[in-house]
């Protein structure tokens, strides 16, 4: 561009002076001058669309596109405590912070935090928690401050990470995935799809397989990570406005409370063993499986390894069914890692000694449903039909309101999410009237219609 600036005008003046000899070159030179003008204008427009990325004290122009006329956003990679202190100061004036994390969990029980991305209207930054001697305490204290809203998308694992670091749930928080479900934008919609739907931007997927633990991260990897909070800002603002317009803020608050409870509470013992497939449903075998599952989960937390890396579910079922009495008997079973046998074989045998000594009344028994407790299949089908009808009218997915098991539990009079809160107001109370014959089903213009008597 600078080279053209030294050539075009003198050349045009020369052609004007000697126009007879240069007559054939005139169209080409005018074209060069026109291209130069267009390139200059484009450069001026692009200047408004750049953002500055600070990496190791050096300015790098990123590909982040802002609206024309928008203020330039300074993006930073934080690797020192001094930089982190400055970032906390810059984030503090905002009434909200968009937050995301990158982590690895394939080989650990607890997520291994590798990057923290943060954004407000004026600040975009990535914090490197793996940087030498970095102390995250000031940032964690900022995130725990109750006067500032923290915005996540599908934030359960992010919140779990911060819970592990602080012993507290980051509050108050706003989860755009939960909010999107309340608006009927899909069940567990992905962030890229939500950005495309609301902002019209196609996010790059080029760095999805990044090993976030490896250093140094490239500018492309950091830019990819920062996009998650850059675009979380407009997504959050649009969704919050739509929630207010539809009067569904209470829906969001209830769902976020359930999410908070799931983070604070350790997995129930029942949940730990009931997901393991086992053919032998005898009481003593199921009790052995439960005790094994609790032991495995406790050990996995202590050594920070996934449960399946210690003992796979198939091996758990094999052990519970066989209930070996000696180490040699365990050795003869398939699927039991030698390392586990060597380190923890005696603990496993103690579990079976305990289970074998239990009286029958202390053993687990799968409940036998009495005929009176079973819900007629036609009634279940009608209730499910009504649930889908209400979900369609409210423009939400039926699964957000209740799963098949939750609906069945409600019909049996057992605890269910349909018995309380916005779900009861939307569906639960009407389902009771439907079961009592106070709501009739009819056909009108080829469509099912429910008539409340």
**Same domain for 443 and 307:** no
The pLDDT of residue 436 is 85
Q: CA torsion sign, 194 to 196 to 200 to 201?
A: positive
- From 330, 362, 394, the end of a domain falls on 362
- Name the pairing type of β-strands 96-104 and 149-152: parallel
The pLDDT of residue 229 is 98
**Same domain for 91 and 214:** yes
DSSP string, 217-228: PPHHHHHHHHHH
The pLDDT of residue 23 is 53
The pLDDT of residue 443 is 73
**Same domain for 423 and 295:** no
**Same domain for 343 and 295:** yes
**Same domain for 273 and 247:** no
Residue 370 lies inside a defined structural domain of this protein: no
The CATH number of whichever domain residue 244 belongs to comes to 3.30.420.10
**Same domain for 414 and 348:** no
The CATH number of whichever domain residue 431 belongs to comes to 1.10.150.80
Residue 437 lies inside a defined structural domain of this protein: yes
- Calpha distance 137→119 (Å, rounded): 18
The pLDDT of residue 121 is 96
The pLDDT of residue 268 is 83
Which residues have a Cβ under 8 Å from the Cβ of 16 and sit 6 or more positions away? none
**Same domain for 309 and 196:** no
The full length of the chain comes to 453
**Same domain for 289 and 152:** no
Residue 121 lies inside a defined structural domain of this protein: yes
* pTM for the predicted model, two decimal places: 0.79
**Same domain for 122 and 38:** no
The pLDDT of residue 11 is 46
The pLDDT of residue 141 is 98
Which residue range is the domain that position 445 belongs to?
Answer: 377-452
Residue 368 lies inside a defined structural domain of this protein: no
- From 313, 333, 362, the end of a domain falls on 362
**Same domain for 343 and 243:** no
The pLDDT of residue 361 is 94
Q: What is the pLDDT along the chain (453 residues), one digit of tens a residue?
A: 443 444 444 444 444 444 454 455 555 555 555 555 555 544 444 333 334 455 544 444 343 433 433 444 567 899 999 999 999 999 999 999 999 999 999 999 999 999 999 999 999 999 999 999 999 999 999 999 999 999 999 999 999 999 999 999 999 999 999 999 999 898 899 999 999 999 999 998 888 889 999 999 999 999 999 999 999 999 999 999 999 999 999 999 999 999 999 999 888 888 899 999 999 999 999 999 999 999 999 999 999 999 999 999 999 999 999 999 999 999 999 999 999 999 999 999 999 999 999 999 999 987 665 444 556 788 889 999 999 989 988 888 888 899 999 999 999 888 899 999 999 999 999 999 888 888 877 777 777 778 877
**Same domain for 235 and 91:** yes
- From 332, 362, 392, the end of a domain falls on 362
- Calpha distance 1→109 (Å, rounded): 55
Strands (DSSP E) contained in 45-158 are 52-55, 58-61, 74-78, 96-104, 112-119, 123-127, 149-152
Residue 399 lies inside a defined structural domain of this protein: yes
**Same domain for 207 and 91:** yes
Count of the separate structural domains present in the chain: 4
Residue 65 lies inside a defined structural domain of this protein: yes
Residue 401 lies inside a defined structural domain of this protein: yes
């Amino acid at each position: 561009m600078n080279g053209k600036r030294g050539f075009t005008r003198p050349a045009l003046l020369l052609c004007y002076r000697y126009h007879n000899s240069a007559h054939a070159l005139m169209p080409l030179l005018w074209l060069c001058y026109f291209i130069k003008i267009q390139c200059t204008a484009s450069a001026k427009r692009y200047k408004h669309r750049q953002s500055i990325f600070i990496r190791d004290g050096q300015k790098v122009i990123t590909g982040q596109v802002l609206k024309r006329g928008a203020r330039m956003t300074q993006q930073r990679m934080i690797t020192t405590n001094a930089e982190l202190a400055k970032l906390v100061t810059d984030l503090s004036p905002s009434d909200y912070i968009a937050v995301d994390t990158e982590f690895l969990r394939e080989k650990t029980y607890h997520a291994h935090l590798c990057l923290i991305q943060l954004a407000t209207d004026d600040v975009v930054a990535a914090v490197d928690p793996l940087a030498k001697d970095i102390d995250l305490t000031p940032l964690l204290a900022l995130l725990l401050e109750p006067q500032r809203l923290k915005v996540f998308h599908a934030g359960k694992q992010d919140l779990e990470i911060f819970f592990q670091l602080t012993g507290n749930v980051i509050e108050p928080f706003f989860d755009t995935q939960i909010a999107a479900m309340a608006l009927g934008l899909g069940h567990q919609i992905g962030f890229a799809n939500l950005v495309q739907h609301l902002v019209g931007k196609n996010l790059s997927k080029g760095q999805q397989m990044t090993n976030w633990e490896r250093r140094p991260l490239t500018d492309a990897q950091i830019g990819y990570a920062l996009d998650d909070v850059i675009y979380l800002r407009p997504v959050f603002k649009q969704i919050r406005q739509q929630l207010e317009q539809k009067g569904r803020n209470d829906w969001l608050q209830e769902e976020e409370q359930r999410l908070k409870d799931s983070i604070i509470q350790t997995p129930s013992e029942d949940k730990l063993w009931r997901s393991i497939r086992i053919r032998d449903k005898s009481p003593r075998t199921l009790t052995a499986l439960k005790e094994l599952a609790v032991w495995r989960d406790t050990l996995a937390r202590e050594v920070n390894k996934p449960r399946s890396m210690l003992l796979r579910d198939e091996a758990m079922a094999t052990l519970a069914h066989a209930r070996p009495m000696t180490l040699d008997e365990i050795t003869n079973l398939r699927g039991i890692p030698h390392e586990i046998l060597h380190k923890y074989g005696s603990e496993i045998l103690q579990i079976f000694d305990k289970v074998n000594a239990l009286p029958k009344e202390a053993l687990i028994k799968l409940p036998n449903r009495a005929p009176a407790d079973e819900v007629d299949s036609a009634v279940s089908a009608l209730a499910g039909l009504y649930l889908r009808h209400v979900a369609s009218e409210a423009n939400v997915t039926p699964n957000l309101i209740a799963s098949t098991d939750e609906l069945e539990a409600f019909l049996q009079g057992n605890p269910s999410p349909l018995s309380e809160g916005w779900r009861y107001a939307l569906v639960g109370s009407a389902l009771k009237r439907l079961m009592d014959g106070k709501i009739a089903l009819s056909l009108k213009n080829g469509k099912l219609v429910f008539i409340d008597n």
